[in-house]
Amino acid sequence: MNPKTRKILIWTLAIVLLAGLVWAIEELAGISNKTCADAGSGAAKSEMVNVSSVKEPAKAKAKTGKKPTKTYLAKIEQADADYLKILDTAKAEISSTGKVSDATRKSGLAAAKNFQQACEEYAVFWDKNKNASRANLMRETGASRVLSAEMSLNDIDKAKIEAYNKQQASVRKAQSEYMNEAKTDLSAEDRAALKAELGPKVQDITNNLNTLMQAVTGLLGKVKDQVASGGIAGAVGGCATTSGSGGSPAGNISALLAPLNALMDLVKSMLTNAQGLMTDLNGLS
């Protein structure tokens, strides 16, 4: 084979490998965004479990004979429904294009803020009724929605995932404090009803998180495989050195490792929280 022909073959091979790597980057980035959005769906379910868990103390119910929380709950439920509709649109966009559109992101973040505001109004109600643990859980839940929306509606981002993961600790603390009070200030009937209502929901969340963890594990494996392949391709003729976003394809694939590892840590935290809440529910008996 003469040198000219050999050079052409090497360049052709490099271009083919480069095209494959660029496609792999786009595909894996899209899958990563979708997986992150799936975590956001789990977050939304967990947030509504928090809302549903808050019940009026037995003394308050006996005194008023009413359900003064009904209006607050209706507003939160509507805000949640609005947000979930937008989140579904975002997930459909990711499936189609690999990304969330700017318009959907903007409306989704606004809907998350509306949810937080509705939770804040509920928290103020509990403050006025001298129920600090209930108020705190509602505020932490509202903050959780905003951070989970930031995580879900943007390209997968390590800092956004870690910010939401940090909030998990605050939510869990608030959950635990409220559930400890619920053991003594809810009626036996309400404690039994709460366990029956939320137990299956928390178990469903746990099952979904286990499935999500498997998905993240598989995705991390694929990314690591592509990093290895990219390293080999980059060495062929020294040609695979650029991509649409700058840098080598292997380097861009490597950039997915940090946020995916953060996502794995997040899913583990969410799973631990769900398990902790289940333990609290079982302790209501």
Of 178 and 98, more confident:
178
Question: Whole-angstrom Cα distance, residue 210 to residue 138?
Answer: 26
For residue 14, the model assigns a pLDDT of 43
pLDDT at site 226: 73
pLDDT at 232 over 80: no
pLDDT at 99: 92
pLDDT digits (tens, 9 = 90+) for 72-117: 999 999 999 999 999 999 999 999 998 999 999 999 999 999 999 9
* Model pLDDT, residue 2: 61
Q: What crossing angle do the helices spanning 3-53 and 188-235 adopt, rounded to 10°?
A: 170
Q: What is the pTM of this model?
A: 0.84
Q: Is the dihedral of CA 31, 32, 33, 34 positive or negative?
A: positive
State the sign of the Cα–Cα–Cα–Cα dihedral 240, 226, 161, 30.
Answer: positive
pLDDT for position 235: 37
Cα dist. 275→54, 180, 203 in Å?
18, 16, 8
Domain ranges of the chain: 3-282
List helix spans (H) across 54-69.
Answer: 58-64
CB of 157 closer than 8 Å to CB of 259: yes
**CA-to-CA distance for 263 and 33, rounded, in angstroms?**
11
Check residue 4 and give its pLDDT: 54
Q: What is the pLDDT of residues 45-74, one digit of tens each?
A: 999 999 999 999 987 665 555 566 889 999
Mean pLDDT over 17-31 rounds to 60
Outline where the chain has alpha helix (H): 3-53, 58-64, 70-97, 102-128, 132-152, 158-185, 188-235, 249-254, 257-282
Res. 245 pLDDT band, cuts 50 70 90: very low
Q: What is the pLDDT of residue 185?
A: 92
Asked if residue 17 has pLDDT above 80, the reply is no
Is the pLDDT reported for residue 119 higher than 90? Answer: yes
* Banded model confidence at residue 213, pLDDT cuts 50, 70, 90: very high
Largest CA distance in the chain: 96
Q: Is the pLDDT of residue 41 over 70?
A: yes
Are the beta carbons of 112 and 146 closer than 8 angstroms? yes
- Mean residue pLDDT of the chain comes to 84
